[in-house]
Structures are given as C-alpha cells and as structure tokens.
Amino acid sequence: MKILPYILELVQVLILLVGAPLFVGWIRRIKCWLQGRKSPSLFQPYFELLKLFSKDVYLAENASWIFRFTPYLVFGITLLIGAIVPILIIDLPFSTTADVIAIVGLFAIARFFTALAGMDVGTAFGGMGSSRTMMIASLAEPAMLITVFTVSLTSHSTSLSQIVQTLTNNGILATLRPSFVFSLWAFLMIAVAETGRVPVDNPDTHLELTMIHETMLLEYSGRHLALMEWASMMKLFLFISIGKAVFMPWGIAQSGQLLAIPLALFFLIIKFMVIGVILVGFETSLAKMRLFRTTEFLGAALLIATLGMLSYFILE
C-alpha cells in the first residue's frame, strides 16, 4: 500500500480545517473595508473557536442524546466531504467512495441531524429554524442535484475527480456551453442559500425572526457550539471548493503530479481570495429577503438548473 496518497488526503483535510476559519476571517475583513469599518484580525475566527472550546457546556435539561451527538456528527461528516471533494488534487483514496450525489446526501444527513437537534430542546425557536431549514433545503437540494447532474452529463461521470479531469483535459472552452452557464448561475444561488449567506439568511444576525441557521444553534454552548460553528465555516469552504472543481477546475493537480501541488495551492489561495471579494460584494449590495421571498429565489434557482439540464439534452 502506498502511503503518499493518504498523506495528501490528510494534507487536504488539514487545509480544510485551517482554511475555513481563515476564509471567514478574510470575508469579514473585506466586508469591514467595504463598509468603512476597522477590521479585526484575520485570525479572529480562530480566537472565537478557541474561546468556545475552552468554555463549559451548558445543556438544556430536556436535551437528549441527539442534541449532544449532532455536533460530532455534523463536524465529522463535513470533514469526510472534505476528504472526498478534490480541493488540491484529484483521485485521492477517498474520492471513489462517493460521487456528487452521495456528497449531496452527506450534506443532507448533516442538515437532517441539525434540524432534529433544533427541535430537541423543545423551544419555539429551534423548531422554527428546523422548519425553515428544511423548507429551504427541499428546494435547494433538488436544484443542487440537477446542477451537478448537468455537469456530470458532459463528463459522463458523477465522480468529482472524473469531472475535474475531463474538464481540465478539454481546456477552457469545455465550460463555455449553455448548460454550464445555467448551471453556474443556479449553483451560485444555491450556494448562497445552503451556506446561509445574505440574501437568504444572515450569519451575523441574531434578530429572532430573521435568522434561520442560527436558531437551531441557539441552545448550543461550549465545545458543541464550537464544532457546529466550525462545521458551518467548513461548509462554506466546501461549497466554494465544489463550485471551483466543477466550474473552474484549472490548477487542481492531476493524480500523481506532486510538483503541481504548490501551484495548486497557489491557485487555491488566489481563487478563494477573489471569490471572497465577490461574495462580500453581493452581501453588501443586497438586503436580506423576507422568508417567503426566498422561495421565489430558490424556485428560480431550481428552474434555471432545470433549464440547464434541458439545454444539455436539447442543444448538446
């Protein structure tokens, strides 16, 4: 058994663990700059996580094992996705374990348990968050699936590694097709919704009636909260990584090309910095939507994704 692939696997997971809070710090910094505020350190998210890890856990008396188990499950599953998605290099040992459908399934299982944890304590807020999350997911998940289906039709594979390889081999023109344009458009909308960013949800707010993801975490504290927060940072990082792998795979190292890894890392940093700027641009220029406007937003995403798939079937 060769050890090198497993080391690379580990490196990729470490990049995810370390990079996710850093990326959030980067987003906050850009946001501060855009809004003319003085920004905290780039490493502020780390400090917050550290603080939470050092605190005791206060558990509501009604909480069951599901409430305590969920943070570990969500964190573990997010890490597993990180081991499958080609962030740096393709054909990692875990990449055959699951294709894009299974990755969507993994996100779904994390969401399923988060929603259950929200209902566990038995307060109005938790249930509200769960209900809204499932509502958003029930529209966003099919749109997400259709998007990746469209892309996988081009590369005749649902395996992310294979998609990256086909696209890279075919050159930049491979992604200049109508189905890709629709898919990219839909994917951006879904990514915004799934990672809880403006205009669907606002990660910074604690206003009771507008928050969605936060409501399910309200009763968490200490290390549980830290794990959930960290996992949601990684989720943002992973969504961007999936988008990056599917729509702009250039720079991701091919299998066995060790020398390409530093270059891949360089591309990774550049891409994330640019995407961070774009994301903040959107977030500052848009206002958060009313809850029932988000269904129109997501319905549009689903429609665009379907159009993408139809255009593949008809035009290509």
Binding-site size for another protein (CB under 8 A) equals 81
Nearer to another protein, 178 or 222 (CB): 222
Residue 209 touches another protein, criterion: CB under 8 A: no
| Nearest to another protein of 98, 238 (CB atom) | 98
When binding is defined by CB under 8 A, the residue of 80, 174, 181, 265 that contacts another protein is: 80
| 49 near another protein (CB under 8 A) | no
Cβ–Cβ under 8 Å, residues 120 and 126? yes
145 binds another protein (CB under 8 A): yes
Q: How far is the CB of 170 from another protein (least distance, A)?
A: 15
CB 304, min distance to another protein, A: 12
Near another protein by CB under 8 A: residue from 23, 26, 75, 272: 75
- Minimum CB distance to another protein smaller for 31 or for 111: 111
For residue 19, what are the CA distances in angstroms to 13, 23, 266?
Answer: 10, 6, 13
Q: How many CA atoms, within 13 angstroms, populate the side-chain half-sphere of residue 107?
A: 27
Nearest distance from C-beta of residue 215 to another protein, angstroms: 10
DSSP character for 288? Answer: P
Contact 16, 82 (CB under 8 A): yes
The answer to whether residue 207 forms part of the interface with another protein (CB under 8 A) is no
CB contact set of 288 (below 8 Å; sequence gap of 6+)? 198, 199, 200, 201, 202, 205, 210
Binding mask 13-32 for another protein (x = CB under 8 A): --------------------
- Residue (of 314, 295, 313, 302) closest to 146 by Cα position: 302
5 lies in the binding site for another protein (CB under 8 A): no
Minimum Å gap between C-beta 153 and another protein is 6
- Give 205's contacts (C-beta < 8 A, 6+ positions apart): 211, 214, 288
Residue type, 162: Q
- Specify whether the CB–CB gap between 149 and 185 falls below 8 A: no
224: left (phi over 0), alpha (psi -120 to 50) or beta: alpha
Closest to another protein by CB, 72 or 250: 72
Joined tokens for residue 274: 């640019």
The Cα 91–Cα 89 span in angstroms is 7
Applying the rule CB under 8 A, the residues between 227 and 286 that interact with another protein are 227
Instruction: Give ∠ CA 101-262-235 in degrees, rounded to 5.
Output: 35
Q: Is 2 in the site for another protein (CB under 8 A)?
A: no
In the window 160-199, what residues touch another protein (CB under 8 A)?
Answer: 162
Among 10, 14, 18, 62, binds another protein (CB under 8 A): 62
Stretch that binds another protein, among 28-36, 97-105, 258-266, 282-290 (CB under 8 A): 97-105
Minimum Å gap between C-beta 272 and another protein is 24
Q: Which of residues 102-131 bind another protein (CB under 8 A)?
A: 102, 105-106, 108-109, 111-112, 115-116, 118-124, 126-128, 130-131
* Residue 64 in the binding site for another protein (CB under 8 A): yes
Q: d(Cα 240, Cα 235) in Å, to the nearest integer?
A: 9
Among positions 94, 180, 182, 237, the unique one binding another protein when judged by CB under 8 A: 94
C-alpha to C-alpha distance for 268 and 152, rounded to whole angstroms = 22
